[in-house]
Amino acid sequence: MNTTTIVIAIMVCIVYAVITLYHHYQPKMICLQCGEINRPSPEERGNIYLAIFLWICFIVPGLLYSLWSFFNKKYVCPACRSERLVPPGSPAGKRAQSTGSW
């Protein structure tokens, strides 16, 4: 292994760590489905079986699919897994908190 490979590997690790932290430290959101106010949970898109199939059969599409899945996480309510999340300060979030209707 030469120096360039090590530098690239370290940079990839740093980018991976920064993106992981970004996914985990989202601002609190209110769920319009159940009323939960919490940080949204990152959830990967795509199908794990398709990813495994692509990895076994073709390395490059498997890698691309995994990268797409990693970078395109969706945020869901930690209580009910709904994607209907809005910031508590937004008009819809304030309306949900004041009326208690979600």
Q: Which residues bind Zn ion (CB under 5 A)?
A: 31, 33-34, 36, 77, 79-80, 82
**In the complex, minimum distance from the CB of residue 77 to Zn ion, in angstroms, rounded to a whole number:** 3
Angstrom distance (rounded) from CA 54 to CA 11: 26
**62 or 73, CB closer to Zn ion?**
73
Contacts of 74 (CB under 8 A, 6+ apart): 42, 43, 45, 83
Give the closest residue to 38 by CA, choosing from 68, 80, 74, 9.
Answer: 80
Q: Whole-number minimum distance, CB 99 to Zn ion, in Å?
A: 16
**Among residues 55 and 95, whose Cβ is nearest to Zn ion?**
95
2 versus 99: smaller Cβ distance to Zn ion: 99
Say if residue 73 is exposed, middle or buried (CB neighbours under 10 Å; 0-12, 13-18, 19+): middle
Question: Least distance in Å: CB of 91 to Zn ion?
Answer: 19
Work out how close the CB of 31 gets to Zn ion at its nearest, in angstroms, rounded to a whole number: 3
- Which is nearer to Zn ion, 66 or 82 (by Cβ)? 82
Q: What is the DSSP letter of 83?
A: S
